Amino acid sequence: MDDTQFQAILNTITNKTNYQRANLFSIIEQLPDTELSSTIHLIANEYIDQTLYKRQNYQSLHDSNSQLEKTSKKLCKKNQALIRQTQSLGAQNQHLQTATQSDIGP
């Protein structure tokens, strides 16, 4: 994912979050005073739950990213080895063709 795609996704999430936040505020403003205390308590608990979940999610994403980086490095090394092997076979083939042509001669 390049920077422009990442920025577009981030903007979409931010816009959606801002819209949801505005809706939440308008709903809270319409609540009677007797329900405000329980609503505030519910929002506080939800915030705590989401914060803890995000931290756990961040750690799992970090671990997955580390594992993917290791796998990527291994695959790059294997790819480089295969490229060198292919080049070596190409060079051997060229030498054999040259030797065959010189043996046949003009």
Task: Render pLDDT for 80-93 as a digit per residue (tens, 0 to 9).
Answer: 999 999 999 999 99
Q: pLDDT digit string (tens) for 18-63?
A: 788 788 778 878 878 888 788 888 888 888 877 776 666 777 888 8
The Cα 39–Cα 41 span in angstroms is 5
Angstrom CA distances, 14 to 6, 17, 19, stand at 12, 5, 9
Residue 77 banded pLDDT, cuts 50, 70, 90: very high
What predicted TM-score, i.e. pTM, was given to this entire model?
Answer: 0.42
Q: Domain for residue 89, yes or no?
A: yes
Domain that holds residue 82: 66-98
Q: Domain for residue 84, yes or no?
A: yes
Q: Domain for residue 2, yes or no?
A: no
Phi, psi of 35 (to 5 degrees): -100, -5
Question: Higher-confidence residue: 3 or 79?
Answer: 79
Q: Domain for residue 3, yes or no?
A: no
Other CB atoms within a 10 A radius of the CB of residue 28 amount to: 13
Count of structural domains within the chain: 1
Q: Domain for residue 12, yes or no?
A: no
Q: Domain for residue 92, yes or no?
A: yes
